[in-house]
Amino acid sequence: MVAKIKTLFSSKINAIGLPILALCWVSFFWGTTWLASKEGVKHMPALQLAAIRQFIGGFLYVAFFLYKKTPWPKGKQWRAILILSLLNFVFSNGLSTWGVKYISSGLGAIIGSMVPIWIVIISFFKGERITRLAVLGILICFGGVCIIFYEHLLDFIKPDFQFGILLSIIATITWAFGTLYTKKKAASFNPYFSLGLQMTLSSVFLFILSSATGTNISLAEIPANSWWSIAYLVVIGSVLTFIAFIYALQNLPTALSSVYAYINPIVAVLLGAIIFGESLTAAIAVGGAITLSGLYMVNYSLRKEKV
């Protein structure tokens, strides 16, 4: 009897504890990837870094599933994988990596967390109803962003800063389109294998784009700091954290699994201040808190619509 109770208790802990641990991992470590990207692009072209990261990460996934003799995707599944590789990895990841070359990692993370706002706006233009709570959340987010950017008013006269902000905003918009497309075209195909294929395909596009800019450097010229950043982004960002993310999504309620979106920017801002000495002022702290509060309201309104 005691053995049965222990077995039941252990299974309950695993059922609840492991998904929570996965969520904690995602919440913290995806926040740190902004700093790794920032460090990496200090010493090499951003698109080249993103291409190498996606190629190595994708290769690891694909090699594993080939070893396991997992069936390849078929027919329309390839179309979904191609579109998601462009939206989520070429544009979203590639442009956000490029963006932090010109803005702080904390600011990049805050902008990156605003995907739910774009989801609501895109849905509105597609003719879907927008709730008052979502509108209020968007207005609150806008107020928070205004407070944050009050600290950067003088920076806006710098073309590089403007470019970094533009890249980061486009990256969040493409991720929002990718999220909506995933929900609409959710396939039964293995999500981890799909992820590896998306990364691999995106690396090809990114290599082409980075070569077209004429700024690529030879592999021998890439300094150790950038290689360490790439290694961290591959192992922590592209492999372990994505696995934890999908696992958490599959085993936790949506309301709980989305918590990472509010913690990532906090981690990035705090560590950016500690490690890189990035600005951490009262305006950024207050504006960030207001922005995240608005994002919570937007997310909550989206979840209520699904019920």
**Which tens digit of pLDDT belongs to each residue from 146-183?**
777 776 666 777 889 889 999 999 999 998 898 888 77
Domain contains 270:
yes
Contact 89, 261 (CB under 8 A): no
Q: How confident is the model at residue 185 (pLDDT cuts 50, 70, 90)?
A: low
Domain contains 273:
yes
Domain contains 5:
no
Q: Which of 27-36, 53-62, 233-242 is the most confident on average?
A: 53-62
Q: How confident is the model at residue 202 (pLDDT cuts 50, 70, 90)?
A: very high
Domain count, the chain: 1
Domain contains 251:
yes
Separation CA 111–CA 63 (nearest Å): 34
Average pLDDT rounded to a whole number, residues 31-59: 93
Average pLDDT rounded to a whole number, residues 208-218: 88
Domain contains 262:
yes
Domain contains 207:
yes
Q: Which of 49, 184, 212 is nearest to 128 (CA)?
A: 184
Q: What are the angstrom distances between the C-alpha of 209 and each of 91, 212, 283?
A: 11, 5, 37
Domain contains 126:
yes
Domain ranges, residue 260: 42-216+226-306
Separation CA 189–CA 84 (nearest Å): 14
**Which H or E element spans position 222?**
none
- Amino acid in position 20: I
Give this prediction's pTM: 0.83
**Tens-place pLDDT, residues 94-139:** 999 999 999 888 888 888 888 878 888 888 787 777 778 878 888 8
Domain contains 15:
no
Specify the range with the lowest mean pLDDT, choosing from 65-74, 121-130, 237-246. 121-130
How many other CB atoms sit within 10 Å of the CB of residue 284? 23
pLDDT at 187 over 60: no
The DSSP 8-state label assigned to residue 61 in this structure reads H
What's residue 198's pLDDT?
Answer: 94
Separation CA 204–CA 59 (nearest Å): 12
Contact 161, 101 (CB under 8 A): no
Degrees to nearest 5, angle at CA 100 with 96 and 104:
135
How many other CB atoms sit within 10 Å of the CB of residue 248? 24
Distance of CA 74 to the CA centre of its chain: 27
